[in-house]
Amino acid sequence: MKTNYTSDNIQVLEGLTAVRKRPGMYIGTTDLTGLHHCVFEVVDNSIDEAMAGYCDFIKVLIKKNNIISIEDNGRGIPIDKHEKFKVPAAEIVLTKLHAGGKFEKNSYKISGGLHGVGVSCVNALAEWMDVTIKRDGHIHRMFLERGKVVKPLKTTGSTSETGTLIEYKADAEIFDTLNYSFDALSTRLRELAFLNKGITIEIRDQRDKEEKFHIFKFDGGIISFIEHLNKKKKALHDKPIYINKVRDEITVEIAMEYNETYSDILYSYVNNINTIEGGSHVSGFKSALARVFNKYIKLFELNKKSKVALAADDTREGLTAVVSVKMPDPQFDGQTKTKLGSSFIAGIIRSIVEEELGRYFETHINTGKVIIQKAMQAAEARAAARKARELTRRKTALNNDALPGKLADCSRQDPEGTEIYIVEGDSAGGSAKQGRDRSFQAILSLWGKMLNVEKTRLNKVIENEKLRPVIAALGAGVHKDFKVEKLRYNKIIIMADADVDGSHIRTLLLTFFFRHMREMIERGHVYLAMPPLYKIWHNKKTHYAFTDGERDKILSEHFQDVEPAIQRYKGLGEMSPHQLWETTMNPETRNIIRVTADDFVEADEMFSILMGDDVKPRKEFIYKYAKDVTNLDI
């Protein structure tokens, strides 16, 4: 049925109505990421006060019922009446898009919230918001609901303090979840404390009986950040390389340190905003590294031993770096500001890094040689890895079989709705193959303990007979070649025995995924199967228990009058195909755990502790947490 298209069909969304109608246009998503984005928009206002020199303390509370409270000791939002709108300036800031002090250069020369929609968007997407402003000797309060003023700004008392307190509850009508992640919020607040040395940022989670909290303050700034990131790694030089230069009103601050590992960590920021997709500042930094390294290979006469040309990736093996740029009016790609688009920044960064890193190599010759030689070894390993990939492709072409022999594939071609179980042991793999639903479940059997990739370069990873089948079955490449959109399955489920050996297998696989297929974890594709520890039955009455506690509960609730048989599973291979399906593989009855890493800094540290070369921190970890272990088999 055709309809007329006239002026009556044109809808004008005024004020904050547009934000509530299309929240994704303003905060990216309405899932947990968008929920956290709102917190950071408010915090960014406090950080802007800190960068302007008026604030040195920020407190974030996650209260009961997922209420957020953010307080600072800045100047406080202005409360005098706006000349044009005839209402207090605070009301304008909270209720109108593209309003604030960040467009007027005398207020904030450097600011993160440059689109001017931050706190007003949060207000629009909040069920309610309570605002307290301390300035000019008085306390002022205002209350809003879903973007609209309910109780106008009113003076409620006197004070000698200054600052702003914003308390709000996100609207359940807008967001998919209101359950904040303490770890995810802490990660960002820790970053902000590193990026703004001397400021104190406190976060407290008051939702549970036992309060969780962090207090972040780093007088060393991003040097402290590097030391934190590398504290469980062996550095190649005594202290981080530090660059701090101002050019054309742009402050460039870089801290970097090389360590003995084979992976790299690079965090980039513009006006404190984490540019997770990089941009021109990251491009400039990477190209500068390549230029400097290739220059000093010749000057140090290191190219006599190896003729392999360095690629940009080689110069970052074992590098931990933070690149922070503070500049007026940056141009970002997208509303959520995850990629810097200001192209001229690349040249500025490249020039500064070439000058300063070159100066460092000339004054620290021995250290410079060690760092460059590591890059040269990385280049040789990269060449070996390329040959290994080519050899694998040739073998595949000759065999006309692109998938590993241990893989029992599913019949569905579309990755959506499919899953692959990576199973420890041939016997368990056999039971899984017989018990699965072949339409959407694939099984890949592994045998023995695989390579610890934390101690290994990429070429050894690609050549490893235990890991090659995993790479081939997932079909998305590995390391820099990994493309998450090419995954052949939507869920990757690790299924190992519920004992110490099984835990080791899981940790080895997770280390491999984290180091060489990290986006797979970031996108939520990786899961852990939860096989039962006990089968409890009497006559035709059968129960499965996944912990000792569950076993005791089942016994007390269902078998008070009889003595049931109890089987303690020593491994997956003891279970029949039917039992494995019912307990561990049937989507209707199974328990699986999605692997997430809200705090990738802490996750990186954990893998370094558990799987790295240094024994001392691993012993310290075991001594610290051994007392908390109640069942070593789980």
Which of 497, 582, 604, 605 is labelled catalytic?
Answer: 497
Neighbour count for residue 535 (Cβ, 10 Å): 20
Angle subtended at Cα 482 by Cα 477 and Cα 484, rounded to the nearest 5 degrees: 105
Is 501 a residue of the active site? yes
Say if residue 466's pLDDT is above 50: yes
Say if residue 632's pLDDT is above 50: no
Which of 63-72, 73-82, 92-101, 527-536 is most confident?
A: 63-72
Whether the Cβ atoms of residue 256 and residue 322 lie closer than 8 Å to each other: yes
Which of 202, 354, 499, 633 is labelled catalytic?
Answer: 499
Say if residue 24's pLDDT is above 90: no
Of the listed ranges 211-220, 387-396, 573-582, the one predicted with least confidence? 387-396
pLDDT tens-digit map of 50-90: 988 899 999 999 999 999 999 999 999 988 887 777 888 88
Domains of the chain: 17-216 (3.30.565.10), 222-383 (3.30.230.10), 402-531+593-628 (3.40.50.670)
Mean pLDDT for 24-49 is 89
pLDDT-derived band of residue 631, with 50, 70 and 90 as boundaries?
very low
Is 499 a residue of the active site? yes
Say if residue 630's pLDDT is above 50: no
Q: Is the torsion defined by CA of 441, 443, 444, 448 positive or negative?
A: positive
Which of 257, 313, 424, 605 is labelled catalytic?
Answer: 424
| Percent above pLDDT 70 for the chain | 85
Check residue 622 and give its pLDDT. Answer: 47
Of the listed ranges 88-102, 143-157, 287-301, 474-488, the one predicted with least confidence? 88-102
- Cα–Cα distance, 284 to 367 (Å, whole number): 23
Is 424 a residue of the active site? yes
- Amino acid letter at 438? R
Give the residue, 232 or 50, on which the prediction is more confident. 50
Of the listed ranges 214-223, 441-450, 557-566, the one predicted with least confidence? 441-450
Whether the Cβ atoms of residue 120 and residue 95 lie closer than 8 Å to each other: yes
Give the residue, 452 or 314, on which the prediction is more confident. 314
Give the residue, 187 or 101, on which the prediction is more confident. 187
Say if residue 203's pLDDT is above 90: yes
What predicted TM-score, i.e. pTM, was given to this entire model? 0.71
- Cα–Cα distance, 423 to 469 (Å, whole number): 12
Report the C-alpha dihedral over residues 19, 22, 28, 34, rounded to 10 degrees: 70
Check residue 382 and give its pLDDT. Answer: 83
Whether the Cβ atoms of residue 200 and residue 217 lie closer than 8 Å to each other: yes
Mean pLDDT for 146-158 is 93
pLDDT-derived band of residue 112, with 50, 70 and 90 as boundaries?
low
Give the residue, 13 or 365, on which the prediction is more confident. 365
Is 104 a residue of the active site? no
Q: Which of 144, 54, 110 is nearest to 251 (CA)?
A: 110
Check residue 613 and give its pLDDT. Answer: 61
Say if residue 472's pLDDT is above 70: yes
Which of 249, 426, 437, 501 is labelled catalytic?
Answer: 501
Mean pLDDT for 112-132 is 79
- Cα–Cα distance, 532 to 544 (Å, whole number): 6
Which of 11-25, 84-98, 323-337, 557-571 is most confident?
A: 557-571
Say if residue 600's pLDDT is above 70: no
Check residue 548 and give its pLDDT. Answer: 87
Element (H, E) at 319: strand 319-326
Say if residue 378's pLDDT is above 50: yes
Residue 615 burial by Cβ neighbours in a 10 Å radius (0-12, 13-18, 19+): exposed
Q: Which of 182, 167, 190, 192 is nearest to 213 (CA)?
A: 182
Say if residue 375's pLDDT is above 70: yes
Mean pLDDT for 539-546 is 87
pLDDT tens-digit map of 394-432: 554 434 445 777 899 999 989 999 999 999 877 888 889
pLDDT tens-digit map of 304-332: 766 667 888 999 999 999 999 999 888 88
Say if residue 103's pLDDT is above 70: no
Q: Which of 101, 130, 97, 137 is nearest to 17 (CA)?
A: 97
Whether the Cβ atoms of residue 233 and residue 261 lie closer than 8 Å to each other: yes
Check residue 617 and give its pLDDT. Answer: 57
- Cα–Cα distance, 281 to 139 (Å, whole number): 42
Please name the residues in contact with 449: beta carbons below 8 A apart, sequence gap of 6 or more.
466, 501, 504, 505, 508
